[in-house]
Amino acid sequence: MAPRFKTYNIATQELAALAFAAQRVNGTLHKDPSYFDVEKDAVVEVTPNKVLMRDSFAIEPGVAPRLVVTDEDRTKAEAAVSAIQQDVMLKQLSGARVNDFIHSMVTLFEQETCTARDCGMMAFLPRTYESLVKVEAVKETVRDFSAASRFLGTSVGTKILIDFEMISNRYLQQFNCYSVFGHDGKGNLVQFLTAHQHLVQSGSISGKIKRLENSRYHNGAEVTELNFVKKAGSMIFVKVV
């Protein structure tokens, strides 16, 4: 009995390049066929990246592919695959945990060929690589500040005012707040939690010292943790110099 569906194969590296081509065409990663555009205040229909990828090789002869891969797409794909594989290898050597999704993606890289069912995971390659590059950039920035960072004040509860420059932030879903990390403009590392999105940016802020610690997450650097953080100007504080 003939198979119900025909299987189309594609070289894994070429599917990776298609992921970057889809990202280039769509401008971002679209997982669903529609999304709500806040600026337009309307639902916008799109072609998901994985569909663009699938319809560029899982097609009958004579049918035009939806995407045309460029040399730049292939260069980006090669760099992304290599960087993610290296990151996973270093984590495994150091005993650090590799999440299941990244582990599955690296397993996919090890295949010689892929099929249409692999488009969904490979479509995340550009976003995964972008996240990795951002994380590495943050680590490099923190390394630059780690040795010289000093505590802002000496006692918990001290009220301070600083010109905060954000390095990174991440949303903590379990606590419904943001973890914000940066420095005071003089290289002294600062972190705080906030539920207010308008505080997740650089700018003058005020707050109280919650904790002074040598952070094991930042090469033992002196990090000042704040609470009761507000935009500067709402209260009068003594600026730490």
Q: Where are the domains of the chain?
A: 10-139, 159-231
pLDDT tens over the chain, length 241 residues: 444 557 899 999 999 999 999 999 999 999 999 988 888 889 999 999 999 999 999 999 899 999 999 999 999 999 999 999 999 999 999 898 999 999 999 999 999 999 999 999 999 999 999 999 998 998 888 888 998 999 998 899 999 999 999 999 999 999 999 999 999 989 999 999 999 999 999 999 999 999 999 998 888 899 999 999 999 864 434 444 3
Class of domain 159-231 as given by CATH: mainly beta
> What is the per-residue DSSP string for 92-120?
HHHT----HHHHHHHHHHT-SEE-GGGHH
In this prediction, residue 238 carries a pLDDT of 40
Reduced to 3 states (helix: H, G, I; strand: E, B; else coil), residue 1 is coil
Residue pair 88/106 in contact (Cβ under 8 Å)? The answer is: yes
In this prediction, residue 126 carries a pLDDT of 98
Reduced to 3 states (helix: H, G, I; strand: E, B; else coil), residue 230 is strand
Cα 230–Cα 236–Cα 241 angle in degrees, nearest 5: 90
Helix and strand numbers (H, E) in the chain are: 6, 9
Tell me the whole-structure pTM to 2 decimals. 0.76
In this prediction, residue 232 carries a pLDDT of 84
